[in-house]
Chain A
Amino acid sequence: QTSHSQATITLKYANFPPATTFPCIQMERWAKEVEKRTAGKVKIQTFPGGTLLPAKNIFDGVIAGTADIGNFAMSYQPGRFPISEAIDLPVGFTTAKAASMALYDLIEKYNPKEFEKVKMITLFTCPPADFMTKTAVRSLKDLKGMELRTSGTGTEVLKRIGATPVGMPQSEAPEAIQKGIVKGNVSSMEILKDFNFAAYLPFATEANLFVVSFAVVMNKDKWNSLPADVKKVIDDMRREQAEWTGKYVDDHVQESLQWSKEKYNHQLIKLSKTDMDDIAKLTRPMIDEYIKKVNGLGLPGDQIVKDVYSLRAKYEKQYTK
């Protein structure tokens, strides 16, 4: 029995985006808190920017044990995480905090079998995606045929509302925008500051289109090897970390918009009620298709979507600014 030994436990935590982005900030926060709350018994080594595992291999790499812990975007591996995909549907989340908590509760409830080989550490989402464009998008008409860079669910959403989606990694977007390959970026707006997109995309249109869901997971054997008190610290932080990350990134979007406005005179546009209703109407078939698809997998599609709506209602109300 080694639980009394003073030797520190070292855990390797793999992450894929650059160190300055919110998924890595939440990682550093989590690492610091765990180290503090276990009184130095656990040491977390963080590997941002894909240095330990590349983005799409983080989940499998954690299962294999290359990393002990890993954060990855479920939305970038369509088909693999059918339950969390429900959160990515265009159901109209307005904050990352509400979406993160809804995701957390949803995964807690269904305990999906795709996670049976790992220990869930936390879950969160990015803030809802909006249009960031070279020319102003004041109505859906302005979007017609506009080439926009996106990822995850975004491809389908953009296609349905009449824009032309171009799927490419965020890292390729700056060049593509500068060269006119795409006319804008559809993503959450903290990137205006984090990747300096405000410098060449002077307009943003708030539309709350969809979110991208992330999961932080731990290797199961590693988890089982941890002493009970360490397990308790990590377990107690699961929900807290989801909430912290949601709040942090929501605040960061506001800060980012403020910064963009001051530095580049960046302009934020809001869509009219009719346009928002039109987006909901045009993308509604995606939700029906989702239900049909997961029903086909033997999952209760109707119930999942119903849960998403009620969780959204609950948390949106709770977190109204």
Chain B
Amino acid sequence: MKYFEQAIIFLNKIFLIVGGIAVLALMSVATANVVLRIFHIPFRGAYELVSFIGAIVIAFALGFTQQRKGHIVVDILTERYPKGLSKAFDIVNHLVTMIFFTIISWQIYRVGMQIWNSGELSETLKIIYHPFIFAVSLGFITLSLTALVQLITDIQGGEEK
């Protein structure tokens, strides 16, 4: 378990670094397009490229955001739950999260496969774009795996902060 947890933390960190590079790339591509346009040489694929990079930015932050419990929880009632009940709901939360996002990841993978098999290209640049879809699918896998780690911690009754 210890090794598994550390492996997932490491994985999230790697993904975070890639996401960080992507957010800077997003900034650079969009800024470069403004500059190029001033010189009347706009890059016709900028729209598409920005969208695809944007997908990487968010997808690769999914695991890290789950790890730091960054998502908003409505806890007005649940914060008053007794300890045992609260623990039970932690387990429910992490179990549901893990299953649901595994399904989502799998479905996004299927969208990617569909695009790949049908030979569909991006609208303007006419490039293959299913790798970006697979990347988003991968991002959701990190979210699921992180939820799994949290679930195991819950069940083992690991020290909660």
Chain A residues within CB distance 8 Å of chain B: 60, 76-80, 114, 145, 147, 151-152, 155, 164-168, 172, 181
Contact = CB atoms under 8 A, between A and B. Distances in A.
23 contacts: A60-B111, A76-B123, A77-B123, A78-B122, A78-B126, A79-B126, A147-B40, A147-B42, A151-B123, A152-B123, A155-B124, A155-B126, A164-B44, A165-B124, A166-B42, A166-B44, A166-B47, A167-B44, A167-B48, A167-B123, A168-B124, A172-B47, A181-B37
A166 B43 CA distance: 8
A79 B121 CA distance: 6
Nearest to A154: B124
B118 A114 contact: yes
Q: Secondary structure of the B side of the interface?
A: loop
Contacts of A172: 47
Contact of B42 (A77, A152, A155, A164): A164
A155 B111 CA distance: 25
B124 A167 contact: yes
Nearest to B33: A181
B48 A79 contact: no
A89 to B, nearest CB: 15
Contact of A79 (B111, B119, B125): B119
Interface in B89-145: 111, 114, 118-126
Contacts of A77: 120, 123
Interface of B: 37, 40, 42, 44-45, 47-48, 111, 114, 118-126
Nearest to B46: A166
A79 B47 contact: no
Contacts of A60: 111, 114
Given A60-B114, A181-B37, A78 B120 contact: yes
Contacts of A152: 123
A80 B118 contact: yes
Nearest to B43: A166
Nearest to B47: A168
Contacts of A167: 44-45, 47-48, 123-125
Q: Nearest 5 pairs between A and B by C-beta?
A: A167-B124, A80-B120, A79-B119, A79-B121, A80-B118
A80 B120 CA distance: 5
Contacts of A145: 40
Contact of B44 (A76, A79, A114, A165): A165
A17 B88 CA distance: 46
A189 B85 CA distance: 63
A80 B119 contact: yes
A114 B117 CA distance: 11
Nearest to B48: A167
Contacts of A114: 118
Given A60-B114, A79-B119, A151-B123, 6 more contacts: A60-B111, A76-B123, A78-B126, A80-B118, A147-B42, A166-B47
Contact of A78 (B40, B111, B123): B123
Nearest to B124: A167
A248 B42 CA distance: 37
A80 B40 CA distance: 33
Nearest to A146: B40
A168 B120 CA distance: 18
B4 to A, nearest CB: 35
Contacts of B40: 145, 147
> Interface centre among B44, B118, B120, by most A CB within 10 Å?
B44
